[in-house]
Amino acid sequence: MLSWPNVYMPPALAGINHPTLALFDSYKGKKVAISGDQNSIYVCGITPYDATHMGHAATYLAFDLVNRYLKASGKKVSFVENITDIDDPLLERAARDCQDWKELAASQIDLFREDMTALNVLPPNAYRGVIESMDDIISLVEQMIAIGKTYELEGDIYLDLQQVDGAIQDLPLPLEQALIIFKERGGDPQRVGKRHALDPLLWKARAGEDPYWIASFGEGRPGWHIECTAIALKNLSKTNPTSITLQAGGSDLIFPHHYMTALQAKALTGVEFASCYSHAGMIGLDGEKMSKSKGNLVFVSKLRQDGVSPAVIRLALFADKYSSDRMWSKELLDSAAEFLDRLLSALSRQEVAPTFEVVQELVNALADDLDTPRVFLALSNWCARTEAGQMGGSPGEISRALDTYLGITL
């Protein structure tokens, strides 16, 4: 799948110290050091309908910060993102709107690319659709069948979780709650004949008019979680001691999607899938959950049409911690625009307060689980010092740091 154009990222300022990046791991419940020199990152991409709402933007901007930080600190990063271009919600949406599902997907993928380009997000090294990865997915299911960890139910193929060490014992939430969320997010816990209610579907047998692919084990299409397992294992180079460094996405993917993706990989490779599992919080609107069903989604493309600059969108989404659930509002956008004006005004002065230590503080804050509120505090204090007439800094150092680490090009 075509990615989006490359983005220039200025190198880090000479002399800046880059502490090891620590990210909060949703399963371990604590921060984990991202300390390797070679990093493989997998971020779950969109299902191509309703692109690109602020929840999407918040997620991809958060992990763009990770990509930028690691690269600025001299680490190698291989970054892979998928696009779920065949999935029940996509088919349902297309049917509801009497639209061809392929056309709907293609138009939304184009829109997503435009939005990511406008938002200055570093493109992934590989941007992979499920359809173009079908051979890899089928091959992975074949391997799962060959090692005897699957079973068949009326042509559908399931992973037998009880054959994967710790799969049921180490659930990230109580079983009762897991069953409810599993069902809400496309699972089928009540299906008669399943060995365990949470066993994930690897392959769904051909049904009705639904699109299907031909595999040695039957015609059909893949389950959701196996797609990401296959795309990640195929496209990312192996790290040590886990298969990849980081699996990331929105917090609605903690369970079951990322949990199952990781288990499936572990079932095959015998090692833990990722060293860290990091999740971005959900974005609501004016005190309410933002959702398709409520019809209150805010879109990046609409904001762009309204003349909102991508720098302001970034600043608005970075005002609070990436991992917190937060609200989008007109006030948030206005205060981000005001902050940008204040920064621009300070940066336009000939004499500015010392800058090097501000850049170092910005870097230290990002290294500590992407603490963007702390970054804002450092920048706002620097503006205040500059406004008070302090001198000795170089405005170019701040502009460059904003570009390198925060993706904000002034």
Parallel/antiparallel/unpaired status of strands 244-250 and 274-280: parallel
Q: Which is nearer to Zn ion, 185 or 302 (CB)?
A: 185
Q: Which is nearer to Zn ion, 228 or 300 (CB)?
A: 228
Q: Which is nearer to Zn ion, 272 or 288 (CB)?
A: 272
Residues 6 or more apart in contact with residue 310 via CB below 8 angstroms: 118, 119, 120, 304
- Collapse the DSSP code of 169 into the 3-class scheme (helix H, G, I; strand E, B; otherwise coil) and give the result: coil
Q: Which is nearer to Zn ion, 80 or 104 (CB)?
A: 80
Min CB(23)–Zn ion separation in Å: 18
Q: Which is nearer to Zn ion, 228 or 315 (CB)?
A: 228
The secondary structure element, H or E, covering residue 235 is helix 224-235
Interacting residue ranges for Zn ion, rule: CB under 5 A: 44, 228
Parallel/antiparallel/unpaired status of strands 76-83 and 38-43: parallel
Min CB(75)–Zn ion separation in Å: 23
Q: Which is nearer to Zn ion, 44 or 370 (CB)?
A: 44
Q: What is the DSSP string of 89-143?
A: HHHHHHHHTT--HHHHHHHHHHHHHHHHHHTTPPPPSEEEETGGGHHHHHHHHHH
User: Across the strands, what pairs with 145?
Assistant: none
- Among 246, 244, 311, 275, which Cα is nearest to 69's? 246
Measure the CA angle with vertex 163, ends 157 and 165; round to 5°: 135
The secondary structure element, H or E, covering residue 214 is strand 213-215
